[in-house]
Amino acid sequence: RLFSSASSSTLTHGDEASTHADADGVVDVNPPRGTRDFPPEDMRLRTWLFDQFREVSRLMAFEEVDFPVLESEALFIRKAGEEITQQLYNFEDKGGRRVVLRPEITPSLARLIIKQGKSVSLPLKWFTIGQCWRYERMTRGRRREHYQWNMDIFGVPKVRAEAELLQAIVLLFQRLGITSSDVGIRVSSRKVLQAVLNMYSIPEHLFTEVCVIVDKLGKLTRDEIEKELMSTGLSSEAVQGIIEVLSLKSLSKLEEVLGSGVEAVADLKKLFSFAEQYGYADWICFDASVVRGLAYYTGIVFEAFDREGKLRAICGGGRYDRLLSTFGSEDIPACGFGFGDAVIVELLKEKGLLPDMSRQIDDIVFPLDEELEGPASSIAFSLRKKGRAVDLVEDKRLKWVFKHAERINASRLMLVGNSEWERGTVRVKILSTREEFEVKAGDLE
Ligand SMILES: CC(=O)Nc1cnc2ccccc2c1
């Protein structure tokens, strides 16, 4: 907006304003709608959280990978009516290509696996922490971006892979100080729904659509769900049957309804016995209503929730054995989860578990007058080479330096003064004990 709001025909004083400022001379300093800046204090919290994600990935022997935030739109076009594909942040680039800011990570993982083809040896365990985007009408005022930690295992068809992923999630929560009385993980399988649809001989092509609708259980009312299910052509008897099975919370009841030979029941029994053996059984519970909203899941699905029920899902994931063939490639069994950076922080705040995010610096080096700036800088340099975080302060009064040292929690203050420097020494103040030493510059570490 280079012209005044009054009229766009006459050039106002805006023409001498900088090209960035608008007619009243001020650029909009806010980030685009639905996005966040990370000033230092927020960035310290984010870095702390992402370091936890990374550490758990390392402990689980996952390898880090990364992808462009910009992807071809074709990678995300799916017909199942998922919210995530109805809110694509998509556009046409200057080359006329249809592109998106990715809404999720999994399709990029699949793309890279296909691209690497035979050269990847299975199983693969990959992780990434990446920004994901959605375009929502701001009427809902929700964020348009968030960061997601993704952990995925390729090439393991058995539920042991899901058991590993659940262990990673439990490990993360325990590292953050969250217990199984704060959070639970609901576990089910899409094969439960598959079995129900088979019972009512519902055609296979409806499966994905029904999953996406049923995932809205808890967000929509029961009869809104029934209406949406009926609109896919399901009989009311089938709709009732689906809703009845999905409200089951016990595996033995599920077995009664579906019969014992059903794969869904076998998978879930195996997974729960792994959880016992792995020692995190108190974190998980069977809940047939869990289907997750992504079209490509084919088996076990899970989501972590706060037991007080105040927050949206903390993380979620599942098995997706047929994703690669939707991109025209040979299928590789796969499962994974996504863990967002927003809900977990809300939970930590709720539980008073946010870590202390104040700054911490090792040493402040301060020349007591300006011709000592050279020596001060060389002292800072030698300390930094020894791994000390050093803040070299100049053009300040000593009073300010002491306040600054407190503000950034410095451990030591190095004062470079004329008389000391003539003796080749520096005055070192230990700020916690107020002890003071005179140290030869060459002996500093
Ligand atoms: C709580 C939150 O920020 N959710 C969020 C924010 N942005 C997204 C962007 C893409 C996909 C999912 C998203 C989810």
The answer, yes or no, to whether any atom of ligand 1 lies below 6 A from the CB of 209, is no
Per-residue pLDDT at 102: 98
Is the distance from the beta carbon of residue 102 to the nearest atom of ligand 1 less than 6 Å? no
Say what the pLDDT of residue 204 is.
Answer: 85
Strand order in the sheet with 70-72: 70-72, 98-101, 89-92
Residue 253, judged by CB atoms within 10 A of its CB (0-12, 13-18, 19+), counts as middle
Q: Can you read off the two tokens belonging to residue 310?
A: 């105040």
Q: Quick one: pLDDT at residue 25?
A: 83
Query: pLDDT-based confidence at 15, cuts 50/70/90?
Result: low
Model pLDDT, residue 140: 75
pLDDT of residue 79: 87
Give the model confidence (pLDDT) of 249-283 as tens digits: 999 999 999 988 899 999 999 999 999 999 999 99
Share of the chain above pLDDT 70, in %: 96
Question: How remote is the CA of residue 104 from the centroid of ligand 1, in Å?
Answer: 9
Ligand 1 atom at minimal distance to the Cα of residue 342: 1
Higher pLDDT, 293 or 74: 74
Ligand 1 centroid from CA 142, angstroms: 8
Q: Ligand 1 centroid vs 101 CA: distance in angstroms?
A: 12
Helix (H) or strand (E) holding 52: helix 40-59
Distance CA 23, CA 362 (A): 46
Q: Which residues of 186-220 are buried (b: 16+ CB within 10 A; e: fewer)?
A: bbbbbbbbbbbbebeebeeebbbbbbbbbbebeee
Distance 347 CA to ligand 1 centre (A): 16
Euclidean distance between CA atoms 300 and 291, whole angstroms: 9
Tell me the average pLDDT across 219-227.
89
Q: Tell how far the Cα of 110 is from the centroid of ligand 1, in angstroms.
A: 21
Which residues 6+ apart lie within 8 Å of 355 measured at CB?
45, 48
Is the CB of 134 inside a 6 Å radius of any atom of ligand 1?
yes
Q: Over 50: is that where the pLDDT of 70 sits?
A: yes
Ligand 1 center–CA 199 separation, angstroms: 36
Q: Which ligand 1 atom sits nearest the alpha carbon of residue 84?
A: 11
Which position has the higher pLDDT, 206 or 274? 274
Closest CA to 375 of 419, 416, 429: 416
Residue tagged 């592109």 (tokens): 99
184 ligand 1 Cβ < 6 A: no
Q: How confident is the model at residue 8 (pLDDT cuts 50, 70, 90)?
A: very low
Residues whose CB falls within 8 Å of the CB of residue 307, separated by 6 or more in sequence, listed in order: 181, 182, 183, 184
Question: Would you say the CB of residue 69 lies under 6 angstroms from ligand 1?
Answer: no
- Residue 374's pLDDT is 97
For the Cβ of 314 lying below 6 angstroms from any atom of ligand 1, the answer is no
Alpha-carbon distance of 320 to 327, in angstroms, equals: 13
Nearest CA to ligand 1 atom 14: 146
Instruction: Return the amino acid letter for 303.
Output: E
Judged against a pLDDT cut of 50, whether residue 445 lies above it is answered with: yes
317 lines ligand 1 (CB under 6 A): no
Binning pLDDT at 50, 70 and 90, where does residue 17 land?
low
Confidence of residue 129 (pLDDT cuts 50, 70, 90): very high
Pocket probe for ligand 1: among 76, 145, 346, the residue whose CB has the most ligand atoms within 8 Å is 145
pLDDT of residue 3: 40
pLDDT reading at 40 higher than 50: yes
Tell me which residue has its CA closest to atom 1 in ligand 1: 342
Best mutation site among 132, 135, 136 for ligand 1, i.e. most ligand atoms within 8 A of its Cβ?
132
Token pair for residue 336? 């994974």
Predicted local confidence at residue 2, as pLDDT: 39
Q: Give the Cα separation of 24 and 117 in Å (integer).
A: 56
From 7-21, 62-76, 133-147, 420-434, the region with the lowest mean pLDDT: 7-21
**How high is the pLDDT of residue 205?**
86
pLDDT in the model for residue 7: 42
The answer to whether residue 19 scores a pLDDT higher than 80 is no
DSSP string across 201-249 = T--GGGHHHHHHHHTTBTTB-HHHHHHHHHHTT--HHHHHHHHHHHT--
**Other CB atoms within 10 Å distance of the CB of residue 336:** 22
* Å from CA of 145 to ligand 1 middle: 5
**pLDDT for the residue numbered 421:** 96
pTM of the predicted model as reported, rounded to 2 decimal places: 0.91
Say whether pLDDT at 12 is over 50.
no
For residue 37, the CA-to-ligand 1 centroid distance in Å is: 15
Query: What distance in Å separates the CA atoms of residue 104 and residue 98, rounded to the nearest whole number?
Result: 17
Q: Which of 76, 84, 146, 311 to mutate to test the pocket of ligand 1 (most atoms within 8 A of CB)?
A: 146
d(CA 276, CA 186): 15
Q: How far is the CA of 146 from the centre of ligand 1 (A)?
A: 5
Q: What is the mean pLDDT of the chain?
A: 93
Q: Is 76 in the pocket of ligand 1 (CB under 6 A)?
A: no
Amino acid 222: pLDDT = 87
Q: How far apart are CA 11 and CA 115, in angstroms?
A: 53
Q: How confident is the model at residue 10 (pLDDT cuts 50, 70, 90)?
A: very low
What confidence tier does 138 reach under pLDDT thresholds 50, 70, 90? low
Q: Output phi, psi for 387, to 5 deg.
A: 90, 10
Regarding the beta carbon of 347 and ligand 1, being less than 6 Å apart is answered no
Q: What does DSSP assign to residue 287? A: -
Spatial distance between the Cα atoms of 406 and 431, rounded to a whole number of angstroms: 8
Q: 382 pLDDT band (50/70/90 cuts)? A: very high
pLDDT bin (cut points 50, 70, 90) of residue 6 is: very low
pLDDT band at 16; cut points 50, 70, 90:
low
**Spacing, Cα 343 to ligand 1 middle (Å):** 10
In whole angstroms, give the CA distance from residue 250 to residue 229: 24
Written as six digits, the tokens of 39 are 């000033």
User: Quick count: other Cβ atoms within 10 Å of Cβ 136?
Assistant: 16
What separation in Å is there between the alpha carbon of 288 and the centre of ligand 1? 25
Ligand 1 neighbour 103 (Cβ under 6 A): yes
CA dist., res. 352 & res. 349, Å (int): 5
